[in-house]
């Protein structure tokens, strides 16, 4: 027999973090904690992002409660019952793997979780004043990042172009790979023109230039763009293999970005990856502002995919009250320091 409880945790940002959808000061997350009859425990994180996750619904906590009450149905049945709640699906997936693990936190045992290998990641630059963004860029470069991702779309576009111009004056494409994320900030009628202007700075890609759900507009952009487009929010709420296949075939993006907390965990991510591979669409994995509990599992999963391109896994240091963990960022890579202990209080 397994017992399950859930706990709410409010993560507090060290500094307000800007996106085109507003400024984030706190982030709500939920933990699922399992205990079997032998006293073994497991923990998973339901990485919901209010205002963005498809399962941001009034009945979210009630669904979590029912899931915990029915925990002895087992993972497979509960995963299916939570089809409309992808963040609960990943919470369950991590919790059950954690319960089976010898130390709660080795979710996907590998050379990464043993501390022998690292994963390249991008340095994330949050929106703000030009001076604030420039300082972040300087800090990331000094910290050894070779790939930087800038959130754009919240401040004046000309200012953003000037910022990119100033980076490229100092650092060539060989020095720094630049990615930008518009979070759907552009309008369909002027997005292509903006992409042309952005392409002058030898960018790797742009994430979600227009809001999701505009399949035909996005398909036209992906066909005509001078700059590779990566779908991010577009994947949210597209359930079922047939719908996912049809969406990719319609839009034909250059890349897709997988946030496991938004797409049904690792099972859901595997499904998207298989579909993308069949259509020669590139992909990478990114976290979604989870605590270190979720970030740890997502990072270990990502390593099993044997990725070589920088992934979006560096968000664990954003908070003042995160769970202390062995995850560390060194010279643009995330690593697992086996000499550091977790401090989660079960």
* CATH code assigned at 75: 3.30.390.10
The residue behind tokens 């000037």 is 162
The answer to whether residue 114 sits within a structural domain is no
Q: Domain holding 220: CATH number?
A: 3.20.20.120
- Residue 345 resides in a domain: no
- Read off the pLDDT of residues 228-280 as tens digits, 9 standing for 90 and up: 999 999 999 999 999 999 999 999 999 999 999 999 999 999 999 999 999 99
- pLDDT digits over 175-227, tens only? 889 999 998 999 999 999 999 999 999 999 999 999 999 999 999 999 999 99
The residues that bridge with 27 in the sheet, in sequence order, are: 11
Whether 342 is in a domain gets the answer no
Q: Minimum mean pLDDT among 40-44, 113-117, 133-137, 269-273: which range?
A: 133-137
Residue 36: per-residue pLDDT: 96
What does the pLDDT look like over 279-333, one tens digit per residue? 999 999 999 999 999 999 999 999 999 999 999 998 778 899 999 999 999 999 9
Q: Tokens standing for 132?
A: 């604030």
Which string of DSSP letters, residue by residue, matches 80-123?
A: HHTTT-HHHHHHHHHHHHHHHSSSSS-SS-STTTTTS--EEBPE
How would you list the strands of the sheet with 333-336, edge to edge? 119-120, 333-336, 327-330
Q: 323 in a domain, yes or no?
A: yes
Percent of the chain at pLDDT above 70? Answer: 98
Q: What is the dihedral of CA 110, 113, 116, 120, to 10 degrees?
A: 100
Check: CB of residue 296 under 8 Å from CB of residue 267: no
Distance of alpha carbon 185 from alpha carbon 192, whole angstroms: 13
What span, in angstroms and rounded, lies between the C-alpha atoms of 326 and 324?
7
Q: How confident is the model at residue 153 (pLDDT cuts 50, 70, 90)?
A: confident
Q: Which residue of the set 27, 140, 151, 194 is catalytic?
A: 151
89 and 140, same domain (yes or no): no
Q: What is the pLDDT of residues 88-124, one digit of tens each?
A: 999 999 999 999 998 999 999 999 999 999 999 999 8
pLDDT tier for residue 15 given thresholds of 50, 70 and 90: confident
Give the integer Cα–Cα distance in Å for 17 and 195: 25
In degrees, to the nearest 5, what angle opens at C-alpha 239 toward C-alphas 273 and 192? 70
Position 187 in a domain: yes
Is the pLDDT at 20 greater than 60? The verdict is: no
Residue 279 has a CB neighbour count (10 Å cut-off) of 12
In this predicted structure, the answer to whether residue 346 has a pLDDT above a threshold of 90 is: no
Report helix, strand or coil for 210. strand
Whose CA is closest to 97, among 265, 323, 242, 289? Answer: 265
Condensed to tens digits (0 to 9), the pLDDT of residues 59-81 reads 999 999 999 999 999 999 999 99
Note whether 315 and 184 are same-domain residues.
Answer: yes
39: left (phi over 0), alpha (psi -120 to 50) or beta: left
321 and 206 together in one domain = yes
Banded model confidence at residue 51, pLDDT cuts 50, 70, 90: confident
CA distance 228 to 191: 13
Of these residues, 27, 149, 194, 259, which one is catalytic?
259
- Under the banding of pLDDT at 50, 70 and 90, the label for residue 128 is confident
Domain boundary among 100, 135, 170: 100
pLDDT value for 19: 58
Structural domains counted in the chain: 2
Length of the chain, please?
Answer: 346
Indicate if the pLDDT at residue 127 is higher than 90: no
One domain for residues 67 and 216: no
Tokens, residue 249: 């075939």
Q: How large is the average pLDDT for residues 154-174?
A: 88
∠ Cα 266 271 275 (to 5°): 145
178, β-bridge pairs? 148
* Domain end residue (candidates: 65, 100, 135): 100
Average pLDDT rounded to a whole number, residues 150-169: 87
Q: Of 191, 316, 310, whose CA–CA distance to 257 is shortest?
A: 310
* Range(s) of the domain holding residue 81: 2-100
Confirm whether 259 is a catalytic residue: yes
pLDDT at 259: 97
CA 70: distance to chain centroid?
29
Q: Is residue 74 part of a domain?
A: yes
CA distances from 328 to 73, 181, 295, 335, 340 (A): 36, 24, 11, 5, 10
Residue 287 contacts residue 298 (beta carbons within 8 Å): yes
160 and 76 in a common domain: no
> Looking at the structure, do residues 154 and 183 belong to the same domain, yes or no?
yes
State the average pLDDT for the chain: 93
Secondary structure of residue 318 in the 3-state scheme: helix
On whether residue 346 sits in a domain, the answer given is no
E strand residue ranges, 184-312? 205-207, 229-231, 255-258, 282-285
- Beta-strand ranges (E) seen in 152-252 are 177-181, 205-207, 229-231
User: Is the domain of 18 the same as that of 150?
Assistant: no
Task: Specify if 260 maps to a domain.
Answer: yes
124 shares a domain with 51: no
pLDDT value for 21: 58
Whether residues 237 and 302 share a domain: the answer is: yes
């Amino acid at each position: 027999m397994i017992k399950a409880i859930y706990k709410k945790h409010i993560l507090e940002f060290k500094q307000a973090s800007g996106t085109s959808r507003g400024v984030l000061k706190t982030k709500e997350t939920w933990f699922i904690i399992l205990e079997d009859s032998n006293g073994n425990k497991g923990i998973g994180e339901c990485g919901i992002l209010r205002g963005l996750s498809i399962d941001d619904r009034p009945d979210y906590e009630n669904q979590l409660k029912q899931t915990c009450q029915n925990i002895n149905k087992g993972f497979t049945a509960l995963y299916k019952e939570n089809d409309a709640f992808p963040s609960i699906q990943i919470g369950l997936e991590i919790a059950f793997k954690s319960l089976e693990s010898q130390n709660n936190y080795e979710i996907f045992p590998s050379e990464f979780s043993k501390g022998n290998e690292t994963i390249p990641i991008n340095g994330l630059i949050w929106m703000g004043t030009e001076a604030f963004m420039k300082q972040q860029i300087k800090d990331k470069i000094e910290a050894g990042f070779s790939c930087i991702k800038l959130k754009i779309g919240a401040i004046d576009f000309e200012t953003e172009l000037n910022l990119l111009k100033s980076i490229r004056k100092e650092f060539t494409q060989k020095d720094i790979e630049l990615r930008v994320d518009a979070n759907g900030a552009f309008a369909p009628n002027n997005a292509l023109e903006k992409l042309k202007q952005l392409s002058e700075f030898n960018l790797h890609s742009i994430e979600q230039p227009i809001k999701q759900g505009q399949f035909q507009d996005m398909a036209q952009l992906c066909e005509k763009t001078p700059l590779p487009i990566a779908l991010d929010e577009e994947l949210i709420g597209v359930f079922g293999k047939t719908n996912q296949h049809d969406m990719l075939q319609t839009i034909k993006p250059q890349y897709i970005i997988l946030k496991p907390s938004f797409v049904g965990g690792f099972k859901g991510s595997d499904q998207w990856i298989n579909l993308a591979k069949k259509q020669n669409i590139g992909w990478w994995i990114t976290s979604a502002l989870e605590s270190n509990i979720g970030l740890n599992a997502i990072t270990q999963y990502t390593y099993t995919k044997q990725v070589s391109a920088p992934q979006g896994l560096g968000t664990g240091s954003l908070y003042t009250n995160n769970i202390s963990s062995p995850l560390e960022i060194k010279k643009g890579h995330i690593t697992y320091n086996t000499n550091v202990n977790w401090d989660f209080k079960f």
